[in-house]
Amino acid sequence: MRKPSFFFFAIIVLILVAAIFSGYVFGLQNPTENRIIINEVSGTFSGLQESPRAEVLAFIFINNTVKAFISMILGVFLGLITINFIFINGVLIGMVMAFSQNDISLKYFLAGTLPHGIIELFAIVLASTYGLWLGAMFVRYIVKKDKVSLKQAWKYSISKFFKIVLPLLAIAALIETYITPYFISLSLR
């Protein structure tokens, strides 16, 4: 069985970068629509601000873990769901970046995303890499009837998710809950 290569990782990173750029350009060119979309998306999480930190931590960790895992597992469908997942996340990041630049400051955006975002995005990119690879392995199964490779690919991806992606998402959730708010408050001074 061939393991996921840098090729799959590079494809996911390119899609993410293109999506961030697209969301950013959209946000700059359509500030009113961008503001409406950002407010709708952030409204989903508005109740968390008053919640105890442990609940916020649990919500962030579970939300990111479930989405990353589902994206990875459903990647078996030719990688389409995985690509859609990474693209939507990238567009939203770009839109938030444009929103922050227009309405608050780029410093605020960086303070609110960099502390945890680097680790979280890396974990999401890894999960998406495994998802895209599962899609390629599924095609190989269909074309070559290579049942063993597909089964091994599932086991390998799930193992890597729990050994690498899950701990990274836990670290990112801890940072997002306990450290990122401190950097945000500093950025507003």
Amino acid making up residue 48: L
The pLDDT of residue 148 is 65
Contact 150, 137 (CB under 8 A): yes
Per-residue pLDDT of the chain (189 residues), as tens digits, is 677 789 999 999 999 999 999 999 999 999 889 888 888 887 777 777 778 888 989 999 999 999 999 999 999 888 899 999 999 999 999 999 998 887 778 888 888 898 899 999 999 999 999 999 999 888 888 887 766 677 888 899 999 999 999 999 999 999 999 999 899 888 877
Amino acid making up residue 139: V
The pLDDT of residue 155 is 92
Give the residue extent of every domain in the chain: 6-187
CB atoms within 10 A of CB 17: 12
Helix (H) or strand (E) holding 30: none
Contact 99, 27 (CB under 8 A): yes
